[in-house]
Amino acid sequence: MKHKKAGLLCRMSRFIENLACHPLRMIDNAVSGGMGVQVLTLAVVVVAILALFATVIAVYTLIAEGRGDFVGSRLWKMYHVFVDPGNGMEVSGAWTGWKRIGVMCIGITGSIFFGGLLISTISNIIERRVDALKSGQFRYKRIKEHFIILGYDELVPSLIMDLHNDVATSDSPIVLMTGQNVSSVKEMLFSQLDDTVTDKLIIYSGNINSKEDLSGLNFNAAKEVYVFGEEGEIGRDSKNIESLRYINELRDKPLHNTPLVTYVQFSRITSYSSIQKFTLPPEYYIRKEVLYTNASKPNLYYRPFNFYELWSRRLWGLYRDEKTRMSGDYDLLDFVRTDESLSTFASRSSDYYVHLVIVGFNRMGRALLLEALRVCHYANYDDSKTPEQRVKTRITVVDRYMDKLKDTFEAQFPNIGTQIYDIDVDYVNDDINSPVMRKKLVDWSRDKLCKLTVAICVYEPDLGLSMGLSLPPDVYESDARVLIRQEKLNGLGQFIHNDFTGRFKNVKIFGMHAGGIRKKVLDDRLAAYINYSYESSGFIDRHYEKYAKVLSGECRPGDSDYCEFEKEKADAMAAWYRLPENMKWANRYQLDCYPNFCHVFGCGIIHDAAATVETPSVISKDKLEDMMRMEKYRWNAERTIDGWRYSSVRDNSRFCHNLIIPFERMKADAVLSKDIFKDRNVIDNMPKILALGGFKIVTLKAVYEAVTMICDMIDCYSESVCVYKKITELCDMIDFYSEL
């Protein structure tokens, strides 16, 4: 405390000294400075003038009149005249000559400095504060339990709405710092958000790579951080990752003992795929004071994301639905065709195959291709059969500049064509509207065994709509699904998206900025549970047992089971923080195939906040082998995309692995076959893992039969509101049957 007082006195004395030596410069600095400087300058000037007048009056009273008892009363009267010149009449009533002139001088000086200058100072303070607020220069130092967003792009409004709609975070303040024009950013945000959201939003102006600007955000008390970077900025991805280092340094006295979750956007698929292969240096997420000590622990938890990949996972992965209904707006790639029997659906005996056509090999097109390579692994690909009898997934990528784009893609992912055995990828240098491509689309849509999905990924919105609505008529008249990428769901796109019974009933709009980021998709809790199940035998069973008690109210905070439940959760997350980055992604992508695994035994996945485990009590040996084969080929694809290649000798440093081989080859090898069921816990623990994440496995047969019965009784395309509502209520309960 003494040190602080000494520092304050030193600053005040230095200020007075500078004011005396450089009065004009100090006055200019005060006028353009903050509230404290302006008030201090005014106070010093007023006190100096009062002191001058007091000295003159005291000297005159003591020397000229020799009466010391008048000094105090005259000083008091002088003060009243200085504060309010109207008191001069009362004070100078009996005075004449130069005494009245002195009183008048004091009154005029008081009017200037204590009246006019004081009011001007206060007005200037208010104006400067308003200007600072408008320009984002003002900082709230005591803000806490807030979310921080660094940089602005078109995903930010979606994130703000997602945070606001979450009950757990709806009351938390949100601080956005951007290097763009704050007034323009406010206009864009306020046009998309309502008043209940904007009241909690604070916008600062600053550079996300400036430690000085970042220091005013109070990372010590923040809940989470989202690093978007500035839209259109050169080197955006590199700058985003570099800001992590500053955040780590500034979070020196955290309010909470857990790592600060920091989400970092990578706008380019190429840089995003590259960053997945590397683990950050410790100085980016561990405090340097404990970096090389036994007490070192993560200060930040770094979670990269990409807009295009988030959308691809929302289309076909576990997190594809952000609503309460399971089927959502989009069908899985292995949707049920109208003439397909449920008994053969997703079984080894099924002859149906998935065919995905991607139009436009831009960032969205590449993200869809990579996600399809990860999830398109089905039970009817049986490598024990001859090559001619095997049912493969087909992916066709069409772009008029494919000859140039293909080389760059294959240079980054060189082994896709040789190590992903159950998927054929065809790169076509052509226009989707050419006669050759239109004829191929007709042939594919007429193929009774083909489950066709056409994804239009061109960037220009009007061109995308034109392409998506001008495909051959056979495409719309068949069971084929059509996806059209649009930045916004409005106008014609919205009409098409909500056309449930007409010509375009299977055409959907996707890729919008609104809803482009969802915290549920970014949540790593289930992936951490999968990882920890390999480290701690029986973890999922133990943790789910306690979770069920917490859910039913049998176990409450403070109980021993509840404390143990929280400790297990913390242990799983601690193990997750230690995991190399590429292995984190392996666990995340493993979740995306859960819908395909459920299909094998005739089940789907729905959202249920109070989820309970429902799954067939016995999984037959054949179905278990089918799922393990699917998992094997999913793993092959995931490792291949990550940059691994086959080698007879495993070498992690060179990304070489001896198990990137066909399932039957591994099964026939006496040594390698022991690893076939290594990942069986992925299947066995799936119902409980899903329940822990708020998902529930349900059988589809009963609901399917109910929908079929209603459809047999009525016209499926009836415009009757009551019939439509009834069918919709039933379809909301199941997976991939909304088209019925």
| Interval 232-261: pLDDT, tens | 888 899 999 999 999 999 999 998 889 999
What pLDDT does 474 receive? 95
What pLDDT does 254 receive? 92
Ranked by mean pLDDT, which of 80-94, 226-240, 258-272, 389-403 comes out on top?
A: 389-403
What pLDDT does 3 receive? 42
- First vs last C-alpha separation in the chain: 75
Longest dimension (CA), the chain: 125
Give the percent of the chain with pLDDT over 90.
40
615, pLDDT greater than 60 = no
Q: Which domains does the chain have, with CATH numbers?
A: 2-135 (no CATH), 147-305 (3.40.50.720), 333-519 (3.40.50.720), 524-697 (no CATH)
658, pLDDT greater than 80 = yes
Predicted confidence band of residue 396 (pLDDT cuts 50, 70, 90): very high
Q: Helices 23-32 & 2-21, crossing angle to 10 degrees?
A: 120
Long-range contacts of 502-508, Cβ-Cβ distance < 8 Å, separation of 24 or more: 503/476, 504/469, 504/476, 505/739, 506/476, 506/479, 506/480, 506/481, 506/482, 506/739, 507/468, 507/469, 507/476, 507/481, 507/482, 507/483, 508/329, 508/330, 508/481, 508/482, 508/483, 508/484
CB 395 within 8 A of CB 364: no
Q: CA angle at residue 308 from 357 to 502, to 5 degrees?
A: 50
pTM for the whole structure? 0.80
Cβ neighbours for 99, distance < 8 A, ≥ 6 positions apart: 92
CB 645 within 8 A of CB 415: yes
The string of pLDDT tens digits covering residues 12-68 is 676 666 666 656 555 555 655 565 666 666 677 777 776 776 777 666 665 555 555
What does the mean pLDDT of the chain come to? 82
CB 659 within 8 A of CB 675: yes
71, pLDDT greater than 90 = no
Ranked by mean pLDDT, which of 130-139, 305-314, 437-446 comes out on top?
A: 437-446
| Closest by Cα among 190, 740, 219, 217 to 505 | 740
What pLDDT does 327 receive? 44
Look up residue 533 and give its two tokens: 């199940």
298, pLDDT greater than 80 = yes
Q: Which residue has the higher pLDDT, 32 or 405?
A: 405
323, pLDDT greater than 50 = no
- Taking CA atoms, 245 is separated from 51, 218, 284, 315, in Å, by 53, 15, 5, 34
